[in-house]
Amino acid sequence: RSDRSAHAAKPTFAMSSDNVSISTDFSPELRVLRDSKEEPQLLPKESVQDMAKDVTYICPYIGALRGTLTVTNYRLFFKCMDREPAFVLDLPLGVVSRVEKIGGASSRGDVSYGLVCKDIRNLRFAHKQMEDSLRKSIFEILMKCAFPVSNGLTIFAFEYGQVYPENGWKVYDAQAEYKRQGLPNESWRITKVNDHYELCDTYPSTLVVPVNIPDEELKRVAAFRAKGRIPVLSWIHPESQATVIRCSQPMVGVNGKRSKDDEKYLQTIMDANAQSHKLFIFDARPSVNAAANKMKGGGYESEDAYQNAELVFLDIHNIHVMRESLRKLKEVVYPNIEESHWFSNLESTHWLEHIKLILAGALRIADKVESGKTSVVVHCSDGWDRTAQLTSLAMVMLDGHYRTIRGFQVLLEKEWLSFGHRFQLRIGHGDKNHTDADRSPVFLQFIDCVWQMTRQFPAAFEFNEYFLITILDHLYSCLFGTFMCNSEQQRVKEELPKKTVSLWAYINSQPEEFTNPLYVNYSNHVLFPVVSMRHLELWVGYYIRWNPRMRPQEPVHQRYKELLAKRAELQKRVEELQREVTNRSASSSSERAGSPTRSITPVQTFV
Amino acid sequence: MIETFGIKLICSKNSCLSPVVCLVVSVSCRLCLVVSCRLCLSPVCLLSSVCLLLSVCLLSSVCLLSSVSVPSTGEVVFCSASTVLKYTQDDLSQRGVFGVLLCTNFRVSFVSDEAPTEEMGQLFKNKLYGENDIPLSCVDNIYGGSEDKRKLITGGLVKNKYPSKMIIHCKDLRVFQFSLSFSKEEDAKKIFQGIVHHCLEPKSLRCLFAFSYCENTSYPEAQRKKQTVMFDSVEDWTQDMKRTKGNCRVVSENSNFELSPKLPQYFIVPKNVSDEDLTKYQGKGLPMWCWSHHSGCALFKTASIPLVQEDNVPQTYMEKMLTAVAHNHLYSVKTEDLSDTLPTVQDILLSYNRFKQFFLIDNTTEFWMSDMKWFSSLDNCGWLDIIRQCLQKAVEVVESLEKENTNVLIMEEGGSDLCCVVSSLVQLMLDPYYRTLLGFQSLVQKEWVAGGHAFLDRSNHLHLKDKVESQSPVFLLFLECVWQLQQQHGPAFQFSETYLTVLSDSIHVPVFTTFLFNNDGHRDSLLRAESPHTQRSPLNCPTVWDWSVQFDCKAQDLFTNPLYTEKPKQDTSVRKSYRPRHLRQLSLPSSAFKTPPKKGFFKDEADNLKKILGVKRLSRWMLSPSSDSPQTSSSVREFYEAWQTKPLDYHGLLLPCLDGPSIRVWMQRYLRWIHDVQILGGGPVAMLSKVSEILGEVQELQRQLDRHGCTLTSNHKGARPRAKTAAAVIAARSSVRLSSSFPFVTSRNWSFKPAIPTSLLQSLMVTGMAGNLADREDDGGPESLV
């Protein structure tokens, strides 16, 4: 069983070099050679910053391990040679959220350091106090390298110079995606009004708006919407023409301000869909929070002002509640799970309840569009967190294209990256300020929701669990430029496509790793997940993956892969035989050789 | 001859009624009617049978009755009512279907007035009862409802009042709601009383449908015998012991229950147990062999003797028995009193009763309300924890056998409840033979049926008041544990999840002898007494393993797991014996924790050592019950971890992961009837159908290859047809049309409307600190920076 095929073993080394470097297939000899070394296999432009021997890693599962710690400008690498096979800890510095010295020097002269990580684990190291007090401890180096932004260093993504066969930055082309949806059409046009991000600096340059609304009016609508995030089309139903529209909250304020332009605009959106004389406005927030926003000038659409529109609150909580929920979840799952009250503990984190609310919201949106043939407008406060979760999930439910490997990349590029989900702020790449209130696992929740759907519809997605885990790993790794910055404007300004590599370049260079062997392409099939707690479960493969007890010895998809391989092998044999038969009959040879079928190993793996 | 006798009998007894009955029921039915009248011991029963007979006569539409699918012979309609409304379960609206509600000696049945929709849903049709039929023993609780209130009906004669609404909760977790307010008052009253009477009142075992059924049906016993090992003969036991290379003594002295009717007909004890030991204490304390490990050590179980202080005779006997067990292999024995460490049968019942409530859903609102506290409810009812404890105990025993190579004696009062659970689980984990379909059935025969699990008392089909205490879903608990193992190690099991679900349903179908008796002696005496033929040959009843009684071949295909990894056969000659040999090499991850080699033990030396060390060692084991339980738990942990690091072999030792998230709810069994949680176009069947499709393709390719082989060699006659798989069954239809409740719920209920949860906000009780967070703005402005 090679490392390559067993991906369940991989998360331990989820971001190790052999995942990303192009020469992934080391020959066995090379592997041995590499294993015997104490430093990591370096990526292009990666350089060792410091190395320390006799560092102790206090593993919560195995116990204390003594080995060599290496810090590069990309990763932290610990290797303990005392064990067979050698124990390796290999993580990108990007996942480190904070480094802290625990206690003072003990009597034995040991200093202890704790690393809090963004990927649901904490690491603890101990090493001897430096005798030479002038020399910096490796952990001081670590603190510097782990937070390049705070220390005036460059994020590694800008240095990493790996060349991949495909330019991942070209995966998403807004025009092409809208064309796939059948846009522009008689009701919808593509506008260049935001070409230089003047209308809205957090929106993409390409926007789809109703044909009847000229650019000048768009600007007036922008004045009434928070941060100028006007209602624009995200998705259109190929048959009913019902649309999914996203925006930010209207600036209603305490006095109940109205905007004739905004009202007319939403009316136009409704009119663009001949199937329905109604428009649903989904406000992702709990109604209390939406009302509270009026104090700050925001608010929600009143049904008096917006005729034929029905406002629905989806009760999804804000980023602070979600952050707190994840913190609690981490306490429950890491490092060990308390056996006796597992479910009560899980419930007390509310994590799955939040997941349920988000999925339920997306389900209602998808249901209105699909079953009700009605257009929907989705917003929260700014329309870049909960709104992105809802529209993208609804689109996964409605459109099978987004369930393919490439389609999902397009979906992320479109609904999350181009529409300005503030990745830099929410993740805090390279920033040491770990208490920043802007950090929140909004994107993680979305991926979790997608995972829940893949559990319920195991054959409906082209990608597998490992694909989702890889995306989350590189959300933090800072190896690729994909999740850098807060908006399209910033990415253009920073010239990310020129200076960094896209995650999609890596993923698309080995799609077989990320393919679900059981994928069935149901065309035009809408998925309605069941959003009951009965069917939601904690994503063990992500949140509890560091616990070796929870790791399956053989991932079940391994068997499916074997099955597919068997099929391919048999197909080949049949073809060979057919060729042979034709050859034989052509030469009309009378000699009869022993049947080649004799040598075929029978299919024994199943009944 | 006998049948004519039966007809004469009924004619003479109820001569005035029989002509009317003739219109409705067949000849064979009449025969059974006589039986039921004759055998119902209570006068109430007799009375009601007569009055129900009258109601049969009253039934206006005879032709309608004939449309009732009566698959089973020996069935008699007791009473019926027309224009009964059966509510559709999935919403609060009072919508439903009108039809006739019947109560027979087998089931409560609803026959819709609407023409039956012959859809593809017929695939998994149970031949004995349909989706609107409830076998009488499958009825769990009956509630009477009026307006908003509902009241549990506990039996007894309902006088003049009867509720307008009747809610029936079934043991297979279906929920039926009927409105009686549209029926004729007289009919409604009768059907309500009839159902309550036949479902809830005490009755004699002879009243169970099995007896009328069996007298009218014959089954070729020979065919069944060939498949599942029934453990009803010396040969079966001998062969199983040989298979596992055991070295014990087969006891056949009880073949006519001369030793004790409580002891199994045949059983195996350690070699050193003498003849007089067999009968002491009615078999209590007698170690019964379960299974031998390839190292030579074995698992035994026993009913523990209550130790009385002043009398040390049982103590001496017990020590003698322990010594006998120890003699089996290397003079080692470990005892485990399950009564000390596992929940009692009452605990099991209480926990299950709380657990099942989460799935007996009357309406959608109730469902979504209970959804909020789902996880903590799961914890509070403790059912999953009981499953975990049983699995954990089994792992402990496996560790003793596998790692320490000691003999293990498990005991409990009675010796046939948790002992059965643990011993069967141990064998499933250690012996791949029991993970095949036939192997599993043989295991149930060995440990549960022959092993004397009191199925009748535990299920309390007879509603006897003095047996209420002994009711407990112990066998279901075992199936739950098996399901957990199967979930974690799918490819190791030849049978499917659906198989286990169907088996769990079959417990409540009172047709199979498997689940009707308390032990061998009980079965033997009853079947003999009921035999219509000579005194010698007992009544021939089907066992649950006669699956063709319930399902046709196509449906039975769903019992097998398409991903099962068959043991690669090295030698074709092995195939001759249909029982796979016990494998000496169980692919043990052992090198890491092998006990020191015992080479130095020559026979005499060992014997001497035994004499010296014996008693001490035994008493040490005896005196250390659960005091070291935290220690054992951590040792189990280590044992699991050591096993986990080795490469997985589906034909070797299997251990379950017991950590919180690994023990799950058996979704298929518990959620299949709840409309709102059906994943349309998804669920495991989506995966299954794709796998089946690929399998089908692989088989087709194989056939092509074989065909080519034929044309090339011409002496190779057509390929052996491969065993059918679920492929044929499912692949034909697109899995988009199937739901997670497959194959139990048909796609008739298909709708594109998703289930939108109600009352969402209440679910989120964000309090305290989080409450403050909830009020904050999404953008942590400078003031909110901590």
In tens, the pLDDT along A141-195 reads: 999 999 999 999 999 999 998 999 999 999 999 999 999 999 999 999 999 999 9
Is the pLDDT score of A556 beyond 50? yes
Query: Is A80 an active-site residue?
Result: no
Q: Are residues B660 and B706 in the same domain?
A: no
In this structure, the answer to whether residues B81 and B123 fall within a common structural domain is yes
Q: How many helices (H) and strands (E) does chain A have?
A: 20, 14
Which residues touch B732 (CB under 8 Å, ≥6 apart)?
none
pLDDT at residue B571, as a whole number: 44
Instruction: Classify residue B212: in a domain, yes or no.
Output: no
What is the average per-residue pLDDT within B592-606?
38
When pLDDT is cut at 50, 70 and 90, the band that residue A399 belongs to is: very high
> Which band of pLDDT confidence, cut at 50, 70 and 90, is reported for residue B117?
low
At residue A164, the pLDDT reads 95
B253 and B140 assigned to the same domain = no
Is residue B625 within a helix (H) or strand (E), and if so which, with residue range?
none
Task: Give the confidence band of B577 by pLDDT, cuts at 50, 70, 90.
Answer: very low
How many structural domains does chain B have? 4
- Helices (runs of H) and strands (runs of E) counted in chain B: 29, 14
**pLDDT confidence of residue B703:** 84
Which one, of B418, B403, B412, lies nearest residue B453 by Cα? Answer: B418
Domain assignment present for B96:
yes
Please, what is the average pLDDT of chain A? Answer: 87
Q: Is residue B151 part of a domain?
A: yes
Residue B11 · residue B18 · CB < 8 Å: yes
Which of the four pLDDT bands, split at 50, 70 and 90, describes residue A352? Answer: very high
Q: Residue B735: its chain A contacts at CB < 8 A? A: 459, 520
Neighbouring CB atoms inside 10 A of A169's CB total: 18
Order of strands across the sheet with A232-236? Answer: A232-236, A243-246, A375-379, A279-283, A309-313
Cα–Cα distances in angstroms (integers) from residue A408 to residues A402, B471, B547, in the given order:
5, 53, 46
Least confident of A46-50, A162-166, A405-409, B748-752: B748-752
Q: Do B368 and B341 share a domain, yes or no?
A: yes
Tell me: the pLDDT tens digits for B421-456? 999 999 999 999 999 999 999 999 999 999 999 999
Per DSSP, what are the bridge partners of residue A451? Answer: none
Yes or no: say if B194 and B177 are a contact pair by the CB < 8 Å rule.
no
The residue-averaged pLDDT of B748-752 equals 54
User: Residue B740: what residue type?
Assistant: S
Place of tokens 């204390």: A64
Q: Do B785 and A537 touch (CB under 8 A)?
A: no
* Apex A167 CA angle, A166 and A171, nearest 5: 100
- Measured CA to CA, the distance from residue B513 to residue B450 in angstroms comes to 12
The residue among A270, A254, A274, A273 whose CA lies nearest residue A307 is A270
What single-letter amino acid sits at A283? Answer: D
B395 plus B526 within the same structural domain: yes
In contact, B696 and A562? CB cutoff 8 Å = no
Residue A409 has pLDDT above 70, yes or no: yes
Average pLDDT of B497-501?
96
Cα–Cα dist B704/A278, whole Å: 58
Contact B112, B141 (CB under 8 A): no
Spatial distance between the Cα atoms of B222 and B179, rounded to a whole number of angstroms: 47
Comparing B57-71, B272-286, B555-569, B619-633, the range with the smallest average pLDDT is: B57-71
Instruction: Give yes or no: residues B421 and B342 share one domain.
Output: yes
pLDDT digits (tens, 9 = 90+) for B130-154: 889 999 999 999 998 876 778 888 8
Which range has the worst mean pLDDT, A418-422, A493-497, A530-534, B257-261?
A: B257-261
Please spell the DSSP secondary structure of B643-697, one letter per residue: HHHSPP-TTS------SGGGS---HHHHHTT-GGG--BT-SHHHHHHHHHHHHHH
Which of A477, A434, A473 is closest to A74 using CA atoms? Answer: A477
Q: Would the CA dihedral through A546, A548, A552, A555 be positive or negative?
A: positive
Residue B309's pLDDT is 59
- Asked if A381's CB is within 8 angstroms of B698's CB, the reply is no
Q: Report the C-alpha gap between A379 and A313 in whole angstroms.
A: 10
Indicate if the pLDDT at residue B14 is higher than 50.
no
Q: Is the pLDDT of residue A511 over 70?
A: yes
Residue B619 pLDDT greater than 90, yes or no: no
Asked whether residue B570 falls in the same domain as residue B645, the answer is yes
Average of pLDDT values for A79-83?
A: 90
Tell which of B201, B232, B252 closes a domain.
Answer: B201
Return the closest-CA partner of residue B755 out of A535, A439, A22. A535
Residue among A315, A320, A345 with most chain B CBs within 10 A, to mutate = A320
Residues 6+ apart with CB under 8 A from B381: B351, B354, B355, B358
Q: Which residue of A has its CA nearest to B702?
A: A570
Residue B180 lies in a domain: yes
Beta-strand ranges (E) seen in A395-459 are none
Q: Can you tell me the mean pLDDT for A445-457?
A: 97
Cβ B712–A592 below 8 Å, yes or no?
yes
Sequential DSSP letters for B364-416: HHHHHHHHHTHHHHHHHH-HHHHHHHHHHHHHHHHHHHHTS--EEEEEESSSS
User: Pick the residue with more confidence: A576 or B31?
Assistant: A576
User: How far is residue B646 CA from its own chain's centroid?
Assistant: 32
Smallest CA-to-CA distance from A66 within A51, A50, A78 is with: A78
Mean local confidence (pLDDT), B335-340: 91
pLDDT > 50? residue A607: no
Put simply, the answer to whether A534 touches B667 (Cβ < 8 Å) is yes
Residues B384 and B475 grouped into a single domain: yes
Are the Cβ atoms of B691 and A527 closer than 8 angstroms? no
* B543 and B496 share one domain: yes
B660 CB-near residues (< 8 Å, 6+ apart): A337, A338, A339, A342, A343, A346
- Using CA atoms, how far residue B704 sits from A599, B625, B693, in Å, is 15, 62, 16
What is the mean pLDDT of the segment spanning B28-49? 38
Same domain, B254 and B379: yes
The domain boundary, picked from B145, B171, B201, lies at B201
What does the pLDDT read at residue A224? 97
User: What is the structure's pLDDT at B682?
Assistant: 87
In this prediction, residue B65 has a pLDDT band, given cuts at 50, 70 and 90, of very low
**A607: chain B residues, CB-CB within 8 Å:** 494, 560-562, 564, 566, 723, 725
CB-count burial class (<10 Å; 0-12, 13-18, 19+) for B61? exposed
The tens digit of pLDDT for each residue in A263-302 reads 999 999 999 998 889 999 999 999 999 999 999 999 999 9
Q: B778 vs A380: CB contact, 8 Å cut-off?
A: yes
C-beta atoms surrounding B578 within 10 Å = 9
Phi-psi group of B681: left, alpha or beta (phi > 0 → left; psi -120 to 50 → alpha; rest → beta): left
Relative to beta strand B407-412, strand B333-337 is: parallel
Q: Which of B22, B43, B68 is the last residue of a domain?
A: B68
Identity of the amino acid at B698: V
The answer, yes or no, to whether residue A434 has pLDDT greater than 50, is yes
Average pLDDT, chain B: 76
Q: How far apart are CA A358 and CA A445, in angstroms?
A: 9
Calculate mean pLDDT across residues A555-569. 74
Q: Is A593 on the interface with B (CB under 8 A)?
A: yes
Residue to substitute from A534, A536, A592, A601, interface B, most B β-carbons within 10 A: A534
The pLDDT tens digits of the residues spanning B198-215 come to: 998 888 888 888 888 877
Given a cut of 70, whether residue B158 has pLDDT beyond it is no
CB contact under 8 A, B676 and A548: no
- Which range of residues forms the domain containing residue B728? 671-753
Question: In this structure, what are the phi and psi dihedrals at residue B10, rounded to the nearest 5 degrees?
Answer: -65, -35
A565 to chain B, any CB pair closer than 8 A? The answer is no
Q: What token pair was written down for B314?
A: 């049982």
Which residue out of A59, A380, A478, A485 is catalytically annotated?
A380
Per the rule left: phi > 0, alpha: psi between -120 and 50, beta: everything else, A54 is: left
- Written as one letter, the residue type at B617 is R
Q: Is residue B321 in a domain?
A: yes
pLDDT at B460 over 70: yes
Report the alpha-carbon distance of residue A57 to residue A63 in Å, rounded.
8
User: Dihedral, CA atoms, B762, B768, B769, B774, nearest 10 degrees?
Assistant: 30
CA distance, residue A550 to nearest chain B CA (Å): 7
User: Does any domain span residue B189?
Assistant: yes
- In this structure, is residue B760 part of a structural domain? no
Which residues does chain A have within 8 Å of residue B364's beta carbon, measured at their own beta carbons? none
Across the interface, do B764 and A363 touch by the CB < 8 Å criterion? Answer: no
Count of C-beta atoms within a 10 Å radius of residue A82: 9
Of A540-549, B489-498, B531-540, the range with the lowest mean pLDDT is: B531-540
pLDDT classification of B420: cutoffs 50, 70, 90:
very high
CB contact under 8 A, B680 and A528: yes
Predicted confidence (pLDDT) at residue A29 exceeds the cutoff of 80:
no
d(CA A305, CA A310): 11
Helix, coil or strand: residue B306:
coil
B-chain residues near A592 (CB < 8 A)? 712-714
What would the pLDDT profile of B502-536 be if each residue is shown by its tens digit?
A: 999 999 998 898 999 998 888 888 887 876 655 55
Rounded CA separation B204/B35 (Å): 12
Residue B201 CB neighbours (<10 A): 16
Alpha-carbon torsion (B622, B624, B626, B632), positive or negative: negative
pLDDT band per the 50, 70, 90 thresholds, residue A554? low
The whole-angstrom separation of Cα A390 and Cα A365 is: 8
Q: Which residues of A touch B736 (CB under 8 A)?
A: 522, 525
Instruction: Indicate whether B209 belongs to any domain.
Output: no
Evaluate whether A39 touches A16 at the Cβ level (below 8 Å). no
B234 and B100, same domain (yes or no):
no
Predicted model pTM: 0.86
Q: Is A341 on the interface with B (CB under 8 A)?
A: yes
Q: From CA A362, how far away is CA A446, in angstroms rounded?
A: 11
Q: Which of B63, B44, B98, B104 is nearest to B80 (CA)?
A: B104
Residue A325 with chain B: CB contacts under 8 Å: 770
Any B CB within 8 A of A337 CB: yes
Query: Which of A525, A559, A596 is opposite residue B736, by nearest beta carbon?
Result: A525
Q: How far apart are CA B432 and CA A520, in angstroms?
A: 33
Report, as an integer, the average pLDDT of A482-499. Answer: 96
- Binding site for substrate: residue ranges of A? 293-296, 318-319, 380-386
Residues of chain B neighbouring A457 (CB-CB closer than 8 A): 679, 681-682, 686
Q: Which two tokens stand for residue B193?
A: 């009383």
First to last CA, chain B: 94
Residue B474 and residue B329 share a domain: yes
Task: Pick the residue of B375, B392, B634, B759 with the most A CBs within 10 A to test the interface with A by mutation.
Answer: B375
Residue B166 belongs to domain with CATH number: 2.30.29.30
CA distance B215 to B74: 8
Q: What share of chain B is helix, strand, coil (3-state, %, to 5)?
A: 50, 10, 40
